[in-house]
Structure 1
Amino acid sequence: MKRITLIAFTILLGLFITPYLSEAQTTINQVSVKITGEVKAPFDINLDSLNKFKQTEVIRKDKDGKDHTYSGVVLSDILQKAGVSSGKDLRGKNLTKYVLIDAGDGYQVVFALAELDKDFTDRLVIVADMVDGKPLPAGEGPFRIIVQDEKKPARCIKMITAIKIISAK
């Protein structure tokens, strides 16, 4: 009798929880990051659109002191799609521009455009959606900035919601 009750409970629990699990996955797929500010073509990026960019991997230590493999898109590639000045155009007034990245918890980080440009640096800064081959865990994703070879993870901002290009006037 106990076995039948346990089986019935498990089936009912599965029927009850399944719609909520698929709803949570749909919500994650709908989360987007707004690319705005001094850009020619503002847009939103979500998991589907992120996967249309060339994917890359960065290995870095996290707060746990262990190496992790993060995969995602180079931030400068996203900025290029938005029409942000780069390469030979990144000079003069354009060098006063910076990127302000917002997280869902209110945390913010800043990068100078030159820090992200391939003509100025070999360091990769990516918008990651995966760690060690799995989606970023709750509280970190669905999107996170990962900075290659930076000594401290302070600018490896979690749960990013917006990327804004601003001019330091």
Structure 2
Amino acid sequence: MNHANPWVRCAVSVLILAACASAPVWADTPPVPAGSVAIGGEIATPRRLDDIALRKLPRRAFDATEHGTTAHWEGVALSDLLSDAGVPLGDALRGKNLALYVVVSAADGYRVVYSLAELDPAMRGGDVILADRRNGQPLDANEGPFRIVAKDDKRPARWVRQVVAIDVLRASLR
């Protein structure tokens, strides 16, 4: 019977544990059903929306340019989705609530962050929507079914494709 050196077994065990501990945070997030987006985190009313539920909400539309191409985008204001979920906006966005931020996650693990103040229409004028249509058509599989579009961002780096989750989190204080 071949027995490996105990130091080798120990080193391999440490490497395996290190790899597991360094797995991306999104790896332990439960999967979201296809065609829906989960809204969660530190909110009063967690929810999951599909395209039918999204179409029933107040709509926003605007033209925005991505990589030199202008398109007409339609969807729901991210601030409306957050407000419906009980996230403090408007006059309630002050004090400790200013430490809240939003993480938007894509199906491939890509994530972006917005401060809650960036999304609050009472504090900032730009539109950020969860889009489901481009130029009058549903988003294709490469973009959708949902996509974040930030009209006033100079670069579309935070325009997340294939959005699966929107989480409201609190910056920790040391």
Which interval holds the TM-score relative to the shorter structure?
0.7 to 0.9
Equivalent position to 2:42, from 33, 38, 41: 38
Residue of structure 1 in register with 2:74 after alignment = 71
Q: How does 1:5-154 map to 2 (within 5 A)?
A: 31-63=35-67, 65-154=68-157
Query: Kindly tell me: are residues 152 and 69 of structure 1, through their superposed partners in 2, closer, same or farther at Cα, counting changes over 3 Å?
Result: same
Q: Which runs of 5+ in 1 are unaligned?
A: 1-28
CA distance in 1, matches of 2:49, 2:62: 20
Q: Secondary structure at the match of 1:120?
A: coil
The root-mean-square deviation of aligned C-alpha atoms, in Å, is 1.1
CA distance in 2, matches of 1:59, 1:156: 14
CA distance in 2, matches of 1:154, 1:30: 24
Q: Secondary structure at the match of 1:57?
A: strand
Q: Which runs of 5+ in 2 are unaligned?
A: 1-32
Question: What's the offset of the Cα at 1:66?
Answer: 1.5
Question: What's the offset of the Cα at 1:52?
Answer: 1.0
Q: Secondary structure at the match of 2:86?
A: coil
CA distance in 2, matches of 1:74, 1:144: 12
Quote the sequence identity (%).
Answer: 43
Which digits, 9 at most, give the CA deviation of each residue in 1:102-160, with x for residues without a partner?
00011000000000001101100000000000011111000000001211000000000
Q: Secondary structure at the match of 1:98?
A: strand
Q: Secondary structure at the match of 1:100?
A: strand
Residue of structure 2 in register with 1:5 after alignment = none
TM-score by length of 1: 0.81
Question: What's the offset of the Cα at 1:80?
Answer: 0.6
For these two proteins, the number of residue pairs brought into alignment is: 140
Q: Secondary structure at the match of 2:87?
A: coil
TM-score by length of 2: 0.78
CA distance in 2, matches of 1:31, 1:136: 11
Matched residue type, 1:52: K
Matched residue type, 1:95: L
Question: What's the offset of the Cα at 1:58?
Answer: 2.1
Which digits, 9 at most, give the CA deviation of each residue in 1:22-62, with x for residues without a partner?
xxxxxxx9521000000000000110110111111121111
